[in-house]
Each structure stands twice: as structure tokens, then as C-alpha cells.
Amino acid sequence: MTTFKLSIDGVRKAYGPVVALQPTSLYVREGEFVTLLGPSGSGKTTLLHSVAGLTEPDGGRVLIDGVDITYAAPNRRDIGMVFQNYALFPHLTVFENIAFPLRMRRSAASEVDKRVRDALKLVQLEHAAARLPRELSGGQQQRVALARCVVYRPSIVLMDEPLGALDKKLREQMQAEIRRIHRELGVTVLYVTHDQEEAMTLSDRICLMRAGRIEQAGAPRDLYVEPQSTYAADFLGESNLLAGTLEEGGLVALRSATPVEIRCMRPAGIPLGAAVRCFVRPEAVRLLGDDAMADNAFDATVDQVVLAGGVTRLALVLPGGVVVRATVLTAGAAAERRVGERVRIGFDRADARVLPEEALA
């Protein structure tokens, strides 16, 4: 029988009539980096706080290494936690901030010194040991918070939107730092974010949450390439989600002023005649030359051209009024299109999937 590092078994939480977390189960292996991803109110922070002991669940169990810690005090769980606001002591030096959890555990002075020096080296802040937090940048303060979290070698590290207060460039730098630290330490991490790119960058596995439950869980590539719901396809990355009706052979007849059919991968479990969405990633949509072929090919009119650095985003209108979005390399000829230009676009059947119809809001 497999013993998971962290087992969340049917944990649920309600605040009066408001259900914050439906019965939820999640099992995390030793050394795995798992991200709880979702919008505000999806239940991700409630789930994390149930593991941390900051929220007492109404039911279910939380186990670490097979030991039930559901109702144990937070300081009895062998868990480290990193918050968005750093939570550093402003009057203590960087060294003393990192040393604090070791001193609370009455570690020997020699051990404190060695572990703090090792932690400072890990986060590349040896030169800042004597500084106060206010003398550091936001990214440096978050690295101190990381060092303080891992210095006493907790069994699991929990991170609650730790990069939320940083600007885009610093976020990307800190993502690289977190990846490196995770790789070097091999520690088990449960991470919360609403940022899809952050989740894709950091995670071994993503749990996409919605309305207090896990909508879909899997490796980042699995969620991106094979979303199981319209919600998952819409939340993770950019998508074309074209409304239509399922016909024989995996054909989807789009809701359009003129007839448009798309050849899609044959779906399982969706009846003929059902309202569906045809899911195609914008990067799968190509601008076709005179001799190019595609399973699905249409005439279209360029309605919008948006330069976004290395890629350019195009909005393309089919004759029936359906808008298809394409993402092309800015350095390529396909990006040199003009609004109003007539083009031929296409994508393959393998890149088009049928998903059940549901509200996108």
C-alpha cells in the first residue's frame, strides 16, 4: 500500500450556508510540487489552511506520512509556510529572521549558525545576513521568507500566493528561484496561486479548483492539451471555444449565420445533437499558403492584429460571423497581416476537441 507524504481525504468546510470546500481528496507524493490553481472563492486557500491547521475542517482527514494531523495544532504538524506578505520581523536582521524558528525549537547555537549559513547560501543572500528587512528589495525579502521556511527542514512546505506582491519581472525571477530551491532540496510543496502561467511554470501537478472542488488534476501539459471541461480549457491558457452542435463522425456544426462544420477528435460520452464547444488553441490555427493543407480550412477576414512581443495575436472572422483567434510568431510572415485583409486559415482535426457546453462565467 502506497503511503503518501500528504493525504487529504474528503476534507470539507462550510461557513453557515456558504460551502467553502466540498468534500475534497488529494494525495501528494514525497518531493512533489503540487499547485492549487483557481480564481478567488474556488476553495484553494481553504484547502491549504486546512492542511496548515489555520482552518478546522467540518469533516474528512489530513494525514502526513500516514499520521492523522487533522486537528493537531499548527506547530505540531512539521509544516513550513510562506505567505504573500513575507511576515518578516522588521527589527531583526536577516540572519536572526531565518534563525528564529530554530531558536524557538531550542537548537544548539552551533547548529543554528550552520543551518542559517546554509539557508542564506541556498537563497544567495550570504552578503545580506546583517541587514534589516527594510534594506532589501521585495524579491530579496521573499527569499528570506523562503530561507526561514526551509531552515528547520519541515516535512512539507506550504506557499500561499507567495509572489502576489511582486511585479512581473520579479515574479519570473522568483519562480526560477523556487524551482531551483525545490530541485536542490527535494521538498514536498503545496502551492496556491490564481496565476495560470505561474502554475504551469512551477508545478509537477496542477489541481484546478472551481466552486470549492477540484475540477481537474494532472500534469501541466495534460491540463493544457486535454482539458476535460470548458471551464478548464477557458481558465488555463488562451482558447477558441466555438459553440455548436455535435454531429456524426466528430463533426461540430457551429452556431453561425452561414453553415460551418469543424472536424474534431471523436468525443466519448457526448450524445449526438448535444450542444458542445469545439476547443482549439490559438497557436494551432495556421495561416495557409496557396498549397498548404489542413483538416479544417476556412476563408476569413482579419479583424484585429495585436503585437504582444514575441507573438502576435490575430482575430479572424469566418463568413458566418464566428471569430477564431490565432497566435503566430511576430518574426514570421503570418504576423504581417492587416485589418480587413482576406486570408485562408486552418487547423488539424487532432488539434480540435469536443467539450460539453457550459457557461464560461
Which CATH number covers residue 151?
Answer: 3.40.50.300
Q: Using the 3D structure, point to which of 213, 230, 247 is the last residue of a domain.
A: 230
Residue 20 φ/ψ, nearest 5 degrees: -80, -30
Residues 56 and 103 in one domain: yes
Q: Which residues pair with 157 in a beta bridge?
A: 80, 189
| Shared-domain flag, residues 155 and 242 | no
The residue from 230, 246, 270 where one domain ends is 230
Q: Is residue 221 part of a domain?
A: yes
Which pLDDT score, from 0 to 100, does residue 1 have?
Answer: 55
Q: Which three cell numbers stand for residue 6?
A: 500528504
Residue 252, domain member (yes or no): yes
Q: Mind listing the pLDDT tens digit for each residue in 176-200?
A: 989 999 999 999 999 999 999 999 9
Same domain, 165 and 244: no
Question: What is the per-residue pLDDT for 265?
Answer: 85
Do 215 and 268 lie in a common domain?
no
Same domain, 253 and 336: yes
Task: Specify whether the CB–CB gap between 355 and 241 falls below 8 A.
Answer: yes
Q: C-alpha angle with apex 4: 194 to 188, nearest 5 degrees?
A: 50
Q: Cβ(59)–Cβ(23) under 8 Å? A: yes
Q: How many domains does the chain have?
A: 2
Residue 125 placed within a domain: yes
70 closest CA partner among 6, 14, 20: 6
d(CA 160, CA 65): 22
Q: Rounded to an integer, what distance in angstroms lies between the CA atom of residue 61 and that of residue 75?
A: 18
Q: Residue 45 contacts by C-beta under 8 Å, 6 or more apart in sequence?
A: 160, 192
| C-alpha to C-alpha distance for 93 and 101, rounded to whole angstroms | 14
Written as one letter, the residue type at 123 is: V
Distance of alpha carbon 52 from alpha carbon 58, whole angstroms: 15
Considering the domain architecture, whether residues 192 and 210 belong to the same structural domain is answered as yes
Judge whether 361 lies within some domain: no
Residue 1 counted as domain residue: no
The full DSSP string for 232-283 is HHHHSS--EEEEEEE-GGGEEEE--SS--EEE-BPPSS--TT-EEEEEE-GG
Residues 171 and 153 in one domain: yes
| Pair (326, 203) in one structural domain | no
Q: What's the pLDDT tens digit per position in 209-241?
A: 999 999 999 999 999 999 999 999 999 989 999
What is the spatial distance between Cα 236 and Cα 221, in angstroms, rounded to a whole number? 10
pLDDT of residue 298: 94
- Whose cell is 460551502? That residue is 19
Do 263 and 154 lie in one domain? The reply is no
Q: Is a pLDDT exceeding 70 seen at residue 361?
A: no
Closest CA to 313 of 298, 328, 302: 328
Q: Does the CA dihedral 132-134-140-144 come out positive or negative?
A: positive
* Residues 96 and 142 grouped into a single domain: yes
pLDDT of the residue at 360: 59
Segments forming the whole domain that contains residue 109: 6-230
| Spacing of C-alpha 79 from chain mean position | 22
- Threshold 0.75, pTM exceeds: yes
Residues 269 and 197 in one domain: no
Identify whether residues 111 and 70 lie together within a single domain. yes
Cα(29)–Cα(66) distance, integer angstroms: 12
**Using CA atoms, how far apart are residues 22 and 232, in angstroms rounded to an integer?**
18
Residue 293 included in any domain: no
Is residue 291 included in any domain, yes or no? no
Beta bridge partners of 240: 280
Rg, C-alpha atoms of the chain? 25
What pLDDT, on a 0 to 100 scale, did the predictor assign at position 359?
65
Assign 3-state DSSP to the chain and report helix, strand, coil percentages, each to 5: 30, 35, 35
pLDDT in tens, 290-333: 777 899 999 999 999 999 999 999 999 998 899 999 999 999 88
Q: Residue 45 above 90 pLDDT?
A: yes
- The answer to the question of residue 271 being in a domain is yes
Long-range contact set of residues 331-336: C-beta below 8 Å, sequence gap at least 24: 334/286, 334/287, 335/305, 335/307
Give percent of the chain above pLDDT 90.
Answer: 79
